[in-house]
Amino acid sequence: MPSPESKSLLVVVRHAPYGSSLARTSLEVALTAATYEQEVGVLFMGEGVLQLLPEQDSTQIGVKNIGKLIASFPLYDLDSLFVDEDALLRHGLDDKNLPQDLRPLGTTAIQQLLRKYDHILGF
């Protein structure tokens, strides 16, 4: 059972949506933390930004849709979503329809974000 203490947690997501089981695992950790009413943020970096692609269709490869999992975040009050704006640009996602709560951050802002949280879980 969770102890009465609480620590803020930043989940750093660096895996492309369908290349590794860690992609889904990282999001499940964030959702579980939100379920236990911890202060939790998610930072998408590197290839992890590809998880944010709108209208993902994973039916042909027979795995669950990561985009739908991210779309369910508001149901868990998980709205502290951040993304490395350089990675967004690099992957050509900057003009795409991205989650409403998502905040693009530059390098300095990311450094500040990393300092703000008690724990950082890097996936």
Partner 1 sequence: MIYSLLVLSSPCSGQGSATALRFARAVVDRGHQIRRVFFMDEGTLSGGSSIVTPQDEINQVQQWAKFGAQSKTELILCVSSALRRGLLDASEADRYEKTAATIHPAFEISGMGQLIDASASSDRLLTFGG
| Residue 30 · residue 23 · CB < 8 Å | no
1 binds partner 1 (CB under 8 A): yes
Under rule CB under 8 A, which residues in 38-67 are in contact with partner 1?
A: 38
| Residue 26 vs 56, nearer CB to partner 1 | 26
- Beta strand residue intervals within the chain, DSSP E: 9-13, 40-44, 81-84, 102-105, 119-122
Among 27, 33, 88, 105, binds partner 1 (CB under 8 A): 33
Among 19, 28, 71, 77, binds partner 1 (CB under 8 A): 28
77 binds partner 1 (CB under 8 A): no
| Residue 40 · residue 78 · CB < 8 Å | yes
CB-based contacts of 107, cutoff 8 Å, min separation 6 = 86
| Positions in the binding site for partner 1 (CB under 8 A) | 1-3, 5-7, 9, 14, 21-22, 25, 28-29, 32-33, 36, 38, 118-123
